[in-house]
Every structure is written in structure tokens, then in C-alpha cells.
Structure 1
Amino acid sequence: MTLDPRNIIDWPGGDNSSDTVISGLHFNITTLEHWNYTLFSNGTLSNGTKCYLTFEPFAPALIFPNGTFINATKCWHPVHPIGARAGTGLGFAVAFGLSLVLTLVALNKHGKLHLPSEKRFHPIGRRWQWYWAIFTCATALISLFTNIDVDRYYLPEIPIVLTSFFWYLMQIGAVACTWEAVRHWGSWMERQFIDPDPFRLREEGRRYWVEFFLPLVAYLFMWLNFFIVVPRSWGRIEHQRYPEQTLTDAKPTATDNRFKSAPFFLFATWVLIVFSLWHSIRHYCPRNRGIINRTIGLIKFTPTRFMLIIPLCFIVPLFQAMVAWNFDWSPLNVKGNPAAIYPGGYAPALLIIIIQGIYGLLSPNEDRELIRQRRERGQTLDAELGIQRKPAWWRRVHDTANPNETMRDKIMRNVREIGGGSATTRNVKEAINTRAAESTTSPRSSPTSPTEDMEMVSIPSPQHVVGVTGPIAPGDFASARQTAGRYVGVMTPGAASRQAELMMDGPPPSPPSPTLMRQPPPPYTDRPAVVGERPPVVGEQGRNHSTASSASPSINSPPVQVRSMLDV
């Protein structure tokens, strides 16, 4: 506590020169002066470190020789009732609390993802406006609740500093919330613009780089406002314990050059907000020609909430500049005018949060809105192509499968739906019998060559039947073979035995000859085989050492014509 000689008063008289009476109680002056206590005109007793109230019912009862008071009340104690400033602050605190709940609901609604995350549009981009709204509500609540003790404390101390500190943070949060709302609206317009054609707007050019650097510059200005206002000594703001101290310490500190220059950075951010809105309308909305038409188009395509929150955002730096020149309207003033502090200092931020919360409740989730737009585009294309889509419930009604159904059952069910069954199987049987009969009565068959024609009879197999939609039993092919054999047996004598021979898998195996088992394998020959040459006989030498000349089959015989790789 700063000691001002102009507020020091003499000790009241007592029973003797070393006795004084304070609030009807006797104290030893020698002990008080030994511990450097001084009596002030505002009813406090202080030595620069400790301060006690001297009026009833807070006056101390006794002081010990070691300087300890009994039943004393410190000067920084809430002894006053709630005043106009604290009462109004409670009402605003309730409003900000409800706005915080509204903001959390909006964040939960708009922060959910219903589509895969895209690299170009990060999910956090849509949430930043709600994060800043939560930050604004939180700082406003702290400022307003600590504002209660500004009225109740007998001498101002830490509550006035906390109130002022978080009030400036609330101002930055309100401007940042407005900036993120406008910036994300432009990003949302871009997303709707390129969703039908992802290559319509490339990530390059003047438009892209403006949108890239604009947030960096905006946050730079907001950071400069924070850097100029917050990191400083706030102790002199507490020096408002009597009028002279307020004029000499608190007022010059609250209206210095740093507080006066800080609002201009918030105003620069507000200008960038307006520029960002104009930039988004220019690139993502229909263009107009002429200054008048462009102005009309700017107003026409601006969302309603921006027409409300952008002017409210302008009040934030404006009021911050006003309190830097007029200390009577400043929240830093303990005796400040509540009629100016709350409408200009807290109401704009509160209205911005409320408008944002109402918008969050009324507007749909962006992913769901994008899905709806895609569905509408699909329906339009289907109508142009003449495609009739079945409703979603159709598949749920008709595609309800048994959980115990096997793959064979599913295939059979699909076959029955297509039209298979006994009728289809009967047609396949008739086709097999007809084909077998036609093969036996073909003009190529003659009594002179029965075996040759019989070998050419084609008996279809399950792999060669094309278009069969129903199950075919193996007995169908056996019956077809029997039918073909009967036809051949009637028309060609001796064909029955030939057919039985063809139906066999192969000749019965015969035991190997003992003579062949005793003979060694043929010798190895390193001479390449010649086409048409006799293979070596068992027992002959593999190499011919004869010098007799003979006609080579490869010279005298006609050249071999290779028709395919199978002939080689």
C-alpha cells in the first residue's frame, strides 16, 4: 500500500500521551509506532505491508507488543454489498453462461464428420469459430465474476486487475471469432464450388495465395494487440484507494501510449475481415459488372449473420480506443460508469456469440449438406438419362437373407429369381438328346465307316453347356450317351461294341514281360535325332561308326511343314 502524507491523520487522544482511542478501543501508541503503523483518513491502519480496518464492526480488539492484532479485518476484504457494477455483471455472466452451452451444442453438431477428411479442407477449420467462441465466453465469465469483488472490496486489489486482464482477452476472442466465421464461410463456399469438379479451382494463383497469407496477417495483428496490452505491470491499476492516488497512478497507466495504440491492431483485423468477405463473394458468387451492381451484389450475397456480427465486431476496437482516452468509461476504473462499460465493453461480444450460436442451431452440418447436394445432382442426372432409382427401403425389404443361409442356398435363390428350375433343366435334357441324335444321323456317317463317324459324335459335358441356369445331374449326360448308343447301334452294325470301347477309361493294365524287365535300358546317344530316322533298337550301339554314305532323309524327303508348335 502506498503511503500518502496528505491522507495521514494524527493519533486520537487517549488517557495519556502513549494511549490512543480508535473506535472506542484503547491502543498503545508506542507499540503502533514501533511497528510503523500509520492512521489514514479512509479509516485504515497500515505500515505499508499490512493494512487493517479501524471502523466498526471490523476494528481490531487488541494489539500485542509483537505487533499482532486480535480480531482484525484486512483492508482487502469484501465488506461492501453488491453494487450496480457487480449486479449488472452477474446478469451478463448468466447470459454468457447460456451462450457457452449454446456454443458447445453448435460445436458438437458442426464438428462431427460424416464424410472422409480431405487434405484441402481440414476438419479443424470448421471448428475454429466455435473454439474462439468458447474462449470468449470463458474469459468473459472470469472477468464478470471477479468484477463482483471490485464493488465489494473496501480497497481495490487483485480483482480489478483480473477483471481488466480477462476483459482485454475477451475482446481479442470476439474479434477472432468473427474472423474465423468469415474465413470459414469462404472456405465452405470454395468446397461447394469444387465438389462437382475438383479441378475447377487449382491451388495456385493470386486467389490461392491471398487465402493462404490472409489468416497469417490477421492473427499477426491480433497477436500484436495481445503483446502490447497483456505483458506489462498491472500493479498501478490497483492504486485507486483514494482520489489522489487514482489521479497520480491508475489513470496515467490506463491511458498510456500502449493502451492507446492497441485498438488500431484490432481495427486492422476488422479491415481484413471485411476484405476476406469481399474476396469470397468475388470468387465464389455470381459476378456483377459496374460499381453500383457490385455494391448491390456485395450486400445481396453477404449472409445475414455477417451483416450483424461485422458491425458488432467494429464496436470492439472502437470502444477499446475510447476507454484508452476516457478513463471514466474504462473497465480499469473501480468507479467506472456501468452504463458505458457493459453496453460498449461486454454487449458486442455477447451478441456475437449469441448470433453465432443461433446460426449453429439452425444451419445443417456441412458434410450432411454436401451429401444432400450430391444426391440432388445424382437425381438430376438420373432424370436426364431416364434412370428410375428404387427407394432405399426396397433393398432392405427384398434383400433380407437368412443368417444361416449357405452360399449354395444363395445361388439357388438367385437361380429361382432369374427363372431356373425343373423347366430349364428339362430344356437342357432335350437339347442334349437332340444333339446326340443329330450327331448319329449326320450325313457324314455311312455304313462303310462306322467307327470314324462314331468317334466324331460330340457328347456335351457340364463345362460345354452354355446358358444353363439350373442344376444338371450327372445322370442326364449318362442317359444322353445311352440314347446316342442306341441310335448308333440301330443304324450302324457293330457300333455298340465300338461305343463301349470308347466309353472305357483305357485298356486294362497288363503285367510287364519278364524278358523286358531283365533287359537293360537303351544306351545313351549324344547324336541328335533326325526327323524320320529309325529309333535305336535295344541292343544296338548308340553311335554309328560306319563310313558308308547314304542318302540323308533330311535331303531326299520333302521339307517338313510346321503348322504349329505342336508339330515340332
Structure 2
Amino acid sequence: MTIDARDILAWPGGDNNTDTVLSGLHFNITTLENWNYTLYSNGTLSNGTKCYLTFEPFAPALIFPNGTFINATKCWHPVHPIGARAGTGLGFAVVFGLSLVLTLVALNKHGKLHLPAQKRFHPIGRRWQWYWAIFTCATALISLFTNIDVDRYYLPEIPIVLTSFFWYLMQIGAVACTWEAVRHWGSWMERQFIDPDPFRLREEGRRYWIEFFLPLVAYLFMWLNFFIVVPRSWGKIEHQRYPEQIITDAEPTATDNRFKSAPFFLFAAWLLTVFSLWHSIKHYCPRNRGIINRTIGLFKFTPTRFMLIIPLAFIVPLFQAMVAWNFDWSPLNVKGKPEAIYPGGYAPALLIVIIQGIYGLLSPNEDRELIRQRRERGQTLDAELGIQRKPAWWRRVQGAGGGPNETMRDKIMRNVREIGGGGPTARNVKEAIHTRAAESSPNGPTSPQEDMEMVSIPSPQHVVGVTGPIAAGDFASARQTAGRYVGVMTPSATSRQAELMMDGPPGTVPPPPYTDRPPLGTGETGRNHSVASSTSPSINSPPVQVRSMLDV
């Protein structure tokens, strides 16, 4: 605790030379001086390490020879009632808390994905403006709640440092929130611009590289503001315990060159925000000819919320520069004027967050909006082609689809029921057997065991997907019917031989009769055991199965 010599007071007289009276209580001067305690004009008793109040009702009752006080109150204690600065701060804290809830609702609404994420448009890009709004509200709340003890503490200490520290962070958050809102609006415009034609804007060229490097430069200026203001010694800001100390320590520290240069970096970030807005309007909105028409178009295509939050964001570095030259308006001043601190220091950030929150509630989710635009484009194309599509509920009414709450498991089970399983499938198998047999020619052989090459009749134990029983008579009748009509599909050996002995084209000699094979019906097998002279397979052998194209 640094105290000017002019504020040191002599010990009040007591009963003798070693006695002094403080607030009606007697203390031993020898003990006080032995522990280097000094009486100051601001009503405190301090030895440079410990400080106690000496006025009622906080005066100590007794001091022991070892320097210990009884019922003493330290100087850094909230003894004063809430003043104008703390009361106004509480009102702002309540509004910032409501704005925080509003921001969380907007983040939950706009942060959800209803379309697959694209590499060109990352999901976190749309959320950054809400993240910075949450950061702004959080730092503002900390600054405002610690601001209460700035009024209540008898001597300034850590509350004034915490209030100032988080106030500067809140300023950065407000500018960053505005920047992200403008930057993402340009990204959203680009997404709508290329959604009908993904190859309309290539990821190269001057436009692409400006949009790539612009956020890096903007955040560079914001972080420069942070590193100039925050990483420093804040101890002298607490030295506001009497007027001389304010003049020698606090005011020079709060108005030094670092505090004076920091606002210009925030102002540079604000200029880049305006440039980003102009760049997005230039590339993603209808173009105008001439300087006057371009200026009119700039205001015409600028969203309403940007017309509000961009001027508010300009006030942030402006007021930060003003308090760096005028200590009376500064939040770093314990006796600063609330009528200047809150309208210039807190109101712009609060209004930015509120406007963003209202926009978040009123505007639709971007994925849903993109789905709506795609639907409208599809309806327009259908109208041009003369196509009239049924509404979505039409298929459910006609039984083509499941209910609105149908799960994937239900869909799979419905497909299984349609394809196979249960009594309907058994009936379908029976009908298929008879149909395949009836489709054959009625001129075939009469024997059910003769020439059955191309017809495959399943057995009851090989029917897959049938839960109900199939009578054996169904297969027997099917085989008999197939045996009668299968001749067309697989002709007999006699008809084959007659066909082979038919005359060829005119002028050709018919081939000699086949004598190496005995006629059918003589009891012979009709099979030639010579591999070289065998030209046709046996009609009683199983059908040849083609394994590949080389066997044909």
C-alpha cells in the first residue's frame, strides 16, 4: 500500500506518552510502532502488509504485544452500500443474462444439421457468431458482477482489476461477433449461389483467396488488441486510495501508450468487417453499373441487422479510444462516471447480442431453408415439363409406404412380408409350380419320367420362405402335368434323329444314317461307349451345367 507522507497522521493523545485513543479505544503506541503500524488520513492503520479500518463500527478492540488485532476489519472489505455504478451494473447484468439464454436458443436452432456436411462449408462456420455472442455475454456478466464490489470496497483492490480485465475481453467479443455474422452471411450467400450449380464458382482466383485470407487478417488485429491490453501489470490500477495516488499511479497507467494504441487494432478489424460485407454483396448479389448505383445497391442488399450492429460495433473501438485519453470516463476509474461507462462501454455490446439473438429466433435454419429452395426449384422444373407429382401423403394413403413413425426395422420387415413368408408365399409357390407346367406345349410325351431336362420342380423341403405346409400332392400333380407338356421344351430322341436326317440346302448330300447307335426301345441303353464317336449326350442324363463361356 503506497501512501504519500502528507497523508500520515500523528498518534492521537491518550492517558500518557505510550497511549493513544482510536475511536474511543486505547492502544499501546509502543506496540504499534514496534510492528511498523502508521495512522493515515483515510482512516486506516497499516504497516505496508496489513491494513485495518480505525473508525466505528469496524475499529479493532485490542492489539496484543505480538501485533495481533482483535475484532479488526481489513481495509479491503465491502463496507459501503451499493452505489450508482453497482446498481446500474446489476440491471445490465440481468439483461445480459437474458441475452445469453436467447443466444443459446439461437445456437441450438442454427447449429443443427439437416443436410450432410460439406467440405466447402463446415458446420462450425455457422456457429462461430453464436460462440462469440456467448463469450461476450459471459465476460460482460463477470465484469458487471465484480463491478459491485468496486463500489462497496473501502479501498480499491482486485475487483477494479477484474472489472477492467473482462471489460476489455467483452469489447473484443463484440467486434468478433459482428465480424463472424458478416463473414458467415457471405458464406451463406455463396452456398445459395452454388447450390443449383456446384461448378459455378471455382475454389480459386481472386475472390477465393480474399475470402481465405480475410478472416486470418481480421483475427490477427483482434488478437493484437488482446496482447497489447491484457498481458501487463495491473497492480497500479488498484492505486486509487487517495487523490495523489490516483494522479501518480492509476491515471498514467490507464492512459499509457499501450491502452491508446489498442483501439486502432479493433478499428482495423471493424474496417475489414465492412470490406467483407462489400465483397459479399459484389460477388453474390445483382451487380449495378456506376458509382451511384453501386452505392445504392450496397445499402439495398445489406441486411437490416447489419445496418444496426455494424454502427454499434464502430462505437466499441471509438469508446475504447476515448477512455484511453479521458480517465474520468474509463471503467478503470473507481470513481468513473456511470453515465459514460454504461452507454458507451456496455450498451453497444449488449445491443449487438440482442439483435443477433432476435435474428436467430426469426430466421430459419440454413439447411431447412436450402431444402425449401431445392423443393421450389424442383416444382418450377416440373411445371415447365408438365409433370404433376403426387404429394408425400399419397403413397401412404395408397399403401405404398409405411406410417410416419415407421422405423428402419419396420421397413425391412414389411419388405420381407411382401417378398416371402407366411401363407401368401406358400400359395404363390403353388401357383408358380402349376403355371410353369401349364405354359409348356400340350404335345409332349405322356411319361412323367421321360425327357425332363429343362423343367425344375422344387421339393417341399427346398422351398425357402414358406411357413405354411405344402401338400405333397401339389408337387405330384405338377410333375405329372409337366411330364405331359414338357415335350416342346425337351424333344424326344426320335424327333431329334429325324431332325438330324433332314435334307440340307439344295445340292447337298444328306448325311448317312446313324448306325452306331441301336434304336430305342430294344432294351439297349442307346449309349455309345466310344468317346471319339459320341456326338450327343444321353437324354436320360442330367442336364449339362455351363460353368463359363468356354464350355459353350
TM-score computed with the length of structure 2 as normaliser: 0.77
Q: Secondary structure at the match of 1:454?
A: coil
Q: Secondary structure at the match of 2:394?
A: helix
The answer as to whether partners of 1:522 and 1:538 remain within 8 angstroms in 2 is: no
1:511-549 deviation per Cα after TM superposition (whole angstroms, max 9, x unaligned): 99xxxxxxxx99999999xxxxxx999999999999999
The answer as to whether partners of 1:525 and 1:543 remain within 8 angstroms in 2 is: no
1:4-47 deviation per Cα after TM superposition (whole angstroms, max 9, x unaligned): 10100100000111110010000000100000000000100001
1:284-330 deviation per Cα after TM superposition (whole angstroms, max 9, x unaligned): 00000000000010000000000000000000000000000000000
Higher CA-based Rg = 1
Q: Secondary structure at the match of 1:489?
A: coil
Q: Secondary structure at the match of 1:78?
A: coil
CA–CA distance in structure 1, aligned partners of residues 396 and 529 of structure 2: 87
1:30-86 deviation per Cα after TM superposition (whole angstroms, max 9, x unaligned): 100000000000100001110000000000000000000000000000000000000
CA–CA distance in structure 2, aligned partners of residues 470 and 58 of structure 1: 96
The answer as to whether partners of 2:420 and 2:465 remain within 8 angstroms in 1 is: no
- Relative to 1, partners in 2 of residues 1:286 and 1:52: Cα closer, same or farther, differing over 3 Å? same
- Relative to 1, partners in 2 of residues 1:147 and 1:125: Cα closer, same or farther, differing over 3 Å? same
1:326-368 deviation per Cα after TM superposition (whole angstroms, max 9, x unaligned): 0000000000000000000000000000000000000000000
The answer as to whether partners of 2:445 and 2:486 remain within 8 angstroms in 1 is: no
The answer as to whether partners of 2:446 and 2:484 remain within 8 angstroms in 1 is: no
CA–CA distance in structure 1, aligned partners of residues 321 and 279 of structure 2: 28
- Relative to 1, partners in 2 of residues 1:301 and 1:27: Cα closer, same or farther, differing over 3 Å? same
CA–CA distance in structure 2, aligned partners of residues 543 and 436 of structure 1: 29
CA–CA distance in structure 2, aligned partners of residues 560 and 405 of structure 1: 48
The answer as to whether partners of 2:422 and 2:466 remain within 8 angstroms in 1 is: no
1:439-467 deviation per Cα after TM superposition (whole angstroms, max 9, x unaligned): 9xx99x99999999999999999999999
The answer as to whether partners of 1:489 and 1:495 remain within 8 angstroms in 2 is: no
Between stretches 188-197 and 414-423, larger displacement belongs to 414-423
- Relative to 1, partners in 2 of residues 1:502 and 1:414: Cα closer, same or farther, differing over 3 Å? farther
1:89-117 deviation per Cα after TM superposition (whole angstroms, max 9, x unaligned): 00000000000000000000000011111
- Relative to 1, partners in 2 of residues 1:356 and 1:549: Cα closer, same or farther, differing over 3 Å? closer
The answer as to whether partners of 1:522 and 1:539 remain within 8 angstroms in 2 is: no
Between stretches 466-475 and 132-141, larger displacement belongs to 466-475
The 4+ residue runs of structure 1 with deviation greater than 4 A are 401-439, 445-512, 521-528, 535-568
- Relative to 1, partners in 2 of residues 1:509 and 1:73: Cα closer, same or farther, differing over 3 Å? farther
- Relative to 1, partners in 2 of residues 1:471 and 1:280: Cα closer, same or farther, differing over 3 Å? farther
Q: Specify every segment of 5 or more residues in structure 1 that has no aligned partner in the other structure, as ranges.
A: 513-520, 529-534
Q: Secondary structure at the match of 1:315?
A: helix
Following TM superposition, by how much is the alpha carbon of 1:479 offset from its aligned partner in structure 2, in angstroms?
A: 10
- Relative to 1, partners in 2 of residues 1:356 and 1:57: Cα closer, same or farther, differing over 3 Å? same
CA–CA distance in structure 1, aligned partners of residues 526 and 491 of structure 2: 49
CA–CA distance in structure 1, aligned partners of residues 489 and 529 of structure 2: 59
- Relative to 1, partners in 2 of residues 1:552 and 1:312: Cα closer, same or farther, differing over 3 Å? closer
Identical counterparts, % of pairs: 91
CA–CA distance in structure 2, aligned partners of residues 142 and 213 of structure 1: 33
Following TM superposition, by how much is the alpha carbon of 1:383 offset from its aligned partner in structure 2, in angstroms?
A: 1.2
CA–CA distance in structure 2, aligned partners of residues 491 and 42 of structure 1: 121
Q: Which residue of 2 aligns with 1:426?
A: 427
- Relative to 1, partners in 2 of residues 1:251 and 1:379: Cα closer, same or farther, differing over 3 Å? same
Q: Which of 456, 459, 470 matches 2:468?
A: 470
CA–CA distance in structure 2, aligned partners of residues 198 and 140 of structure 1: 42
Following TM superposition, by how much is the alpha carbon of 1:384 offset from its aligned partner in structure 2, in angstroms?
A: 1.4
CA–CA distance in structure 1, aligned partners of residues 504 and 334 of structure 2: 116
Following TM superposition, by how much is the alpha carbon of 1:246 offset from its aligned partner in structure 2, in angstroms?
A: 0.3
- Relative to 1, partners in 2 of residues 1:508 and 1:263: Cα closer, same or farther, differing over 3 Å? same
The answer as to whether partners of 2:444 and 2:483 remain within 8 angstroms in 1 is: no
CA–CA distance in structure 2, aligned partners of residues 536 and 480 of structure 1: 27
Q: Specify every segment of 5 or more residues in structure 2 that has no aligned partner in the other structure, as ranges.
A: none
The answer as to whether partners of 1:36 and 1:47 remain within 8 angstroms in 2 is: yes
CA–CA distance in structure 2, aligned partners of residues 366 and 497 of structure 1: 76
Following TM superposition, by how much is the alpha carbon of 1:218 offset from its aligned partner in structure 2, in angstroms?
A: 0.2
Following TM superposition, by how much is the alpha carbon of 1:178 offset from its aligned partner in structure 2, in angstroms?
A: 0.3
CA–CA distance in structure 2, aligned partners of residues 547 and 414 of structure 1: 52
Following TM superposition, by how much is the alpha carbon of 1:402 offset from its aligned partner in structure 2, in angstroms?
A: 12
Following TM superposition, by how much is the alpha carbon of 1:417 offset from its aligned partner in structure 2, in angstroms?
A: 13
The answer as to whether partners of 1:316 and 1:348 remain within 8 angstroms in 2 is: yes
- Relative to 1, partners in 2 of residues 1:130 and 1:480: Cα closer, same or farther, differing over 3 Å? closer
Q: Which residue of 2 aligns with 1:525?
A: 515
RMSD of the alignment, in Å? 10.5
CA–CA distance in structure 1, aligned partners of residues 234 and 326 of structure 2: 18
Between stretches 51-60 and 476-485, larger displacement belongs to 476-485
- Relative to 1, partners in 2 of residues 1:256 and 1:384: Cα closer, same or farther, differing over 3 Å? same
- Relative to 1, partners in 2 of residues 1:114 and 1:459: Cα closer, same or farther, differing over 3 Å? closer
Matched, 1:336 2:336: yes
- Relative to 1, partners in 2 of residues 1:290 and 1:16: Cα closer, same or farther, differing over 3 Å? same
Q: Which residue of 2 aligns with 1:486?
A: 484
How do 1:67-82 and structure 2 match up within 5 A?
A: 67-82=67-82
CA–CA distance in structure 1, aligned partners of residues 49 and 131 of structure 2: 42
Following TM superposition, by how much is the alpha carbon of 1:396 offset from its aligned partner in structure 2, in angstroms?
A: 2.1
Following TM superposition, by how much is the alpha carbon of 1:202 offset from its aligned partner in structure 2, in angstroms?
A: 0.6
Q: Secondary structure at the match of 1:131?
A: helix
Q: Secondary structure at the match of 1:450?
A: coil
